[in-house]
């Protein structure tokens, strides 16, 4: 571990935040935990917890004071209406980056595959998406994640704030359906990714696909070499149990974003692969 300054972890009361608080504290990182809801577990040794709203810029600035890095897992974590998403995921992210700029801290942004969810799933030997692919958000949630990555781009270009955008696939204790054979990210691989980010000498502005070492992955080249991260786990151990479990919905099964693509879907026919083409 090379990071000596405290690390601010937002969204600490969520499933991923609780796991990261436990794992990173055990490795000796000094954590400042925050969330809008109470922390449901015993606060790990060497960590503190403060309830705060991402909409409250002053609170975020105060929490980030003296920190060397911010692990930003806070905000709406699922598909929700625009008016719900806009506060924590749009305004709140601005407060995170302003705090990082003031402190000279780097940011790990928990982005999502839903920022590119309307890309079609690759078939056969078709090329996998690389990290420079176009955004094709599948929901207001996914749109907020695309915004978050662009916020990181702005703050790197304009202020030199280093940031890593992790496009998380499906981070759960285990894979539960066929899609997750491609998108699953184990808790262990996520915790190791965060630790590598904290210890990396230089990050710049980077994007990493947040998935374990899954042979069926939808995703290809990214910037993981910058932090020296390689996933160790694989969803293949779940293939026999979940390989047959699909939604049965042709829209959901067509696109990488899964369920979110089908929520409120009203097109009569699928949109073309070329995002600027006329309907096929």
Could you tell me if 7 and 69 are in contact, meaning their C-beta atoms sit under 8 angstroms apart?
yes
Question: What CA–CA distance (Å, rounded) separates 257 from 251?
Answer: 10
Q: Of 71, 58, 60, 73, which Cα lies nearest the Cα of 13?
A: 73
Q: What are phi and psi of 125, to 5 degrees?
A: -95, 15
Using CB atoms within 10 A of its CB, is residue 91 exposed (0-12), middle (13-18) or buried (19+)?
Answer: middle
141 is catalytic: yes
Could you tell me if 133 and 77 are in contact, meaning their C-beta atoms sit under 8 angstroms apart?
no
Calculate the CA 49 to chain-centre distance.
22
Question: What CA–CA distance (Å, rounded) separates 242 from 61?
Answer: 44
- Contact partners, residue 238, CB within 8 Å, separation at least 6: 174, 175, 176, 180, 181, 184
Catalytic-role residue among 29, 97, 141, 187? 141
Bridge partners of residue 48, in order along the sequence: 32
Using CB atoms within 10 A of its CB, is residue 260 exposed (0-12), middle (13-18) or buried (19+)?
Answer: buried
- Catalytic residue IDs: 141
């Amino acid at each position: 571990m090379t990071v000596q300054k405290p690390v601010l972890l937002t969204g600490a009361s969520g499933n991923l935040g609780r796991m990261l608080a436990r794992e990173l504290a055990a490795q000796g990182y000094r954590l400042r935990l925050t969330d809008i809801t109470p922390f449901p577990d015993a606060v790990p040794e060497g960590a503190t917890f403060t309830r705060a709203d991402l909409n409250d810029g002053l609170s975020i600035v105060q929490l980030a004071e003296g920190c060397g890095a911010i692990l930003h897992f806070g905000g709406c974590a699922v598909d929700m209406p625009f008016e719900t998403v806009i506060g924590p995921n749009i305004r709140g992210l601005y407060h995170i980056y302003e705090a990082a700029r003031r402190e000279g801290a780097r940011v790990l942004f928990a982005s999502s595959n839903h920022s590119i969810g309307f890309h079609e799933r690759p078939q056969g030997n078709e090329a996998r998406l690389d990290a420079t692919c176009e955004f094709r958000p599948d929901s207001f949630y996914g749109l907020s994640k695309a915004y978050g990555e662009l916020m990181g781009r702005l703050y790197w270009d304009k202020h030199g704030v280093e940031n890593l955008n992790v496009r998380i696939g499906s981070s759960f204790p285990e894979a539960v359906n066929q899609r997750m054979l491609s998108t699953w990210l184990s808790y262990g691989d996520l915790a190791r990714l965060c630790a590598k980010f904290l210890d990396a000498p230089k990050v710049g502005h980077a994007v990493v696909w947040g998935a374990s070492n899954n042979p069926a992955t939808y995703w290809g080249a990214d910037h993981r070499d910058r932090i020296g991260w390689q996933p160790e786990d694989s969803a293949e151990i779940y293939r026999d149990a979940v390989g047959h479990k699909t939604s049965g919905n042709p829209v959901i099964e067509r696109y990488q974003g899964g369920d979110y693509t089908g929520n409120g879907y009203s097109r009569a026919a699928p949109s073309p692969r070329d995002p600027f083409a006329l309907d096929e």
